[in-house]
Amino acid sequence: VKRILEEIKPQKRGVMLVRPGVNLPTLGCLLLLAIHAGITLTGGTHLPSESLRPLYETIALSWSGIKEGKVSALLIHGLFHGDWLHVATNAFLFFYTTARLGHVLRPAKILVLFTICSVGAGLAYVLSQAIIPTLSSDPLVGASGGVMGMFLAQTVIYPDSRMLFLPASGRNIGRGFLVASLLLFLMTPSLGIPMFSDLGRWMVEGFGERLFKIGHLYHFAAGLMGVTTIGYLLPRLVTLEELQSERMKREHGLTPTR
């Protein structure tokens, strides 16, 4: 009896991950790190925007690049990063999100979700540059679009679980992320939105101009894509009515015994 009670005793809640190995989380991390290592060995990425190397001019995402026909940047910009902190953060989040999503999705569907979120966020980024001339025209690279989309998708799948080291539920983290990203975008000083831009200039004084070098609209769009897309990728669950119907078919199909 004691052994049975120990088996059914509630377990401590924690994060379900996978061990590093031949799996999507590990291989994805290694790919992002290997690409950035190769870029670093051939000259690095810390160059002024006006003298970016030809490779980054091709793969970095911007409205000016799209107008020149560099549409492939929508797909491949997520594989390249600006510095080691950038790629390390995205590699860690890629491992975390794909490991959790792997409990309910096959690797192929996880990659589909990553691509949808990355491309969708990229479209939002270039369209915002096209529509709002005062926005920065800087090109964008990084896997944060796909990663943030997957991270928000898992908050839909695990709404009551704790995410990473944050003492909040997945539901609240997802909502908070979307609201914060949208507000930070609206606070971009160059937009000139009354009150919002004033707050943005005040935040620049405290945190520096780098705060608004981040693609907040890009992240918002990626999270929104993850939240709205995940439902179409989840396996279809069998309903109670379907189970009852199958049971009735089996029962009616049985031949009576004598």
β strands within 93-150, DSSP E: none
Q: Please state, as a whole number, how many other Cβ atoms lie within 10 Å of the Cβ of residue 27.
A: 14
Report which of 96, 120, 79 is spatially closest to residue 218, judged by C-alpha positions: 120
pLDDT of residue 4: 38
pLDDT of residue 248: 79
pLDDT of residue 235: 79
The rounded distance, in Å, linking the Cα atoms of 72 and 65 is 10
Each residue's pLDDT tens digit in the chain (258 positions)?
Answer: 344 334 434 444 444 568 888 999 999 999 999 999 888 877 666 554 444 456 677 788 999 999 999 999 999 999 998 888 999 999 999 999 999 999 899 999 999 999 999 999 999 999 999 999 888 888 899 999 999 999 999 999 988 887 766 778 888 999 999 999 999 999 999 899 999 999 999 988 888 887 888 889 999 999 999 999 999 998 776 666 767 777 777 777 655 555
3-state secondary structure of 124: helix
- Token pair for residue 250? 């089996």
